[in-house]
Amino acid sequence: MALPKLFARRYLGIDIGTSSVRIVELEKNGKNFKLTNYGEIKSEAAVAETFRVARKAMAFFSVEEVSETIKKIIAQANIKTRQCAFSIPDFSTFFTNFKLPPMTEKEIPEAVMFEARQHIPLPLESVTVDWQLVGGNPGLSQDLEIVLAAIPNEIVEQYKEIAKAANLEVESLDAEVFGLIEALVADNETKSTCLVDIGTQSTVCSICEGKVLKTSHSFDIAGNHILERALQGLPFDQETVREIKKNYGLKFFSAGVSDPGNLVNNAFLGAMESIAKEVGLMLQGYARLGNKEVSKITISGGAALIPGVMKSFKERFGCEVDIADPFTGINFPSMLTPELQKIAPVYSVAVGMAKRGLAASDSKKKASQKRQ
Q: What is the pLDDT of residues 100-148, one digit of tens each?
A: 999 999 999 999 999 999 888 888 899 988 888 988 899 898 999 998 9
CA gap 67, 70 in Å, rounded: 5
CA gap 268, 273 in Å, rounded: 9
Cα dihedral 367, 357, 66, 123, rounded to 10, equals 60
Beta strands in 109-232 (DSSP E): 127-135, 144-152, 169-175, 192-198, 203-209, 212-219
Residue 16 clears pLDDT 60, i.e. is over it: yes
Residue 210 clears pLDDT 50, i.e. is over it: yes
User: What is the share, in percent, of the chain residues with pLDDT greater than 70?
Assistant: 88
Per CATH, the homologous superfamily of domain 3-371 is: ATPase, nucleotide binding domain (3.30.420.40)
Residue 2 clears pLDDT 90, i.e. is over it: no
Contact present, 21 and 33 (Cβ < 8 Å): no
Please give the pLDDT value at position 7.
61
Per-residue buried b or exposed e for 351-371, using 16+ beta carbons within 10 Å of the residue's own CB:
bbbbbbbbebbeeeeeeeeee
Greater confidence (104 vs 260) lies with: 104
The amino acid sitting at 264 is V
- DSSP sequence for 196-240: EEE-SS-EEEEEEETTEEEEEEEES-SHHHHHHHHHHTS---HHH
369 — pLDDT class (breaks 50, 70, 90) = low
Per-residue buried b or exposed e for 48-72, using 16+ beta carbons within 10 Å of the residue's own CB:
eebbebeeeeebebebebbbbbbeb
The amino acid sitting at 197 is D
Count CB neighbours of 100 within 10 A. 18
Contact present, 135 and 145 (Cβ < 8 Å): yes
Which spans in 52-104 are helix H? 63-77
CA gap 222, 228 in Å, rounded: 10
80 — pLDDT class (breaks 50, 70, 90) = very high
Q: What is the largest CA-CA distance in the chain?
A: 70
Count CB neighbours of 19 within 10 A. 19
The amino acid sitting at 109 is P
CA gap 191, 62 in Å, rounded: 41
| Mean pLDDT, all residues of the chain | 86
Residue 372 CB burial class (10 angstroms; 0-12, 13-18, ≥19): exposed
Could you give the C-alpha distances from 23 to 53, 100, 293, 303, in angstroms and in order? 19, 39, 34, 20
Model pLDDT for residues 18-75, shown as the tens digit of each residue = 778 999 999 999 889 999 999 998 865 444 344 443 333 334 457 888 899 999 999 9
Strands 192-198 and 296-301: parallel
CA gap 341, 324 in Å, rounded: 10
